[in-house]
Amino acid sequence: MLRFIDLFAGIGGIRLGFESIGAKCVFSSEFDEDACKTYEANFGEHPAGDITKIDAHNIPDFDILLGGFPCQAFSIIGKKDGFANETCGTLFFDIERILKVKRPRAFMLENVKNLVAHDGGRTFSIIKKHLENLGYHVYAQVLNALDYGVPQKRERIIIVGFLDNILFRFPDPIPLRERKKLEDILEKNVSEKYYVKPEIREARLKKNKHKDYPKPYISHENMAGSVTPHPYSSALRAGASANYILVNDERRPTEREMLRIQGFPDDFKIVVSYGKMKKQCGNSVAVPVMKAVAHAMLEALMIYDKSIVDKEEEVA
């Protein structure tokens, strides 16, 4: 059985992806205490705290390091100060520190799409070089959650590495017929508390460029102030305003709907307030993307291991 550690664990979206291939989590770490509450309610363990204070030698042995390391330092929305950001950007070096000590077979890192373009590509080049200097064969590709079954346009760079010279292919998008549509994830009976005030709705509709867009839709107000409806959600954001995305320009999505937009199962427990759940979903990952990447990594490892066994048998 493959063992993994779940760094910058959030509410466990990456963990769910890798548990789907039968892998076992042997250590988790998360700085945000509210996220830890949600994580503990769903996985029965309270993650260790600040990763910068954890000695790598005290982490159990494992096969795969997983980490959706903080992306605010590289985000288009954020200040884009990258490695100059001492509190977020340089947390990558804690990943490097742990890889150097523990030498796992593989890793999977997730970050915002803009990491590739940040500082003219220099930031990503630094990250890739540091990983390769540790002896890893590194693959990277931007994947969109829309292509893997959830109604959310969420583009994220996935960085995969192997100590062995393993041939890896990122997972192909799933067929259109297998993808969940917006109507598949919306709740039927929604409390009035989620509905916006009439004046907010009217102001929103005035900005909507497509008045007769078919329902259901989710609209969001972009940085220019334009409101655009889509049959899917724009990327959930942790720090967005309360009415950043609205269903049919009428109401905010419920906690369960936000989790569904990220591909979390319906038995996932909600133990924090709406505002905290919104932040946690915005910081999380699209679970089906993680499942697809986990399966691709498992397949690559199994093919490589079989080739080694076959070679040994030939020699024998």
Residue numbers annotated as active site: 71
C-alpha to C-alpha distance for 3 and 22, rounded to whole angstroms = 9
- Paired sense of beta strands 3-7 and 64-67, if any: parallel
Cα dihedral 298/74/16/50 (nearest 10): 110
What is the residue whose two structure tokens read 């890893």? 136
Region of residue 246 (left: phi > 0; alpha: psi -120 to 50; beta: else): beta
The CA radius of gyration of the chain, in Å to the nearest whole number, is 21
C-alpha to C-alpha distance for 281 and 301, rounded to whole angstroms = 31
Query: Exposure pattern of 73-94 as b/e (b: 16+ CB <10 Å)?
Result: bbbeebebebbebeebbbbbeb
Task: Calculate helix-pair angle for 122-133, 92-102, nearest 10 degrees.
Answer: 10
What is the residue whose two structure tokens read 């972009």? 222
Q: Are 284 and 278 in contact (CB under 8 A)?
A: no
What is the residue whose two structure tokens read 């500082």? 119
Token representation of residue 4: 């993994």
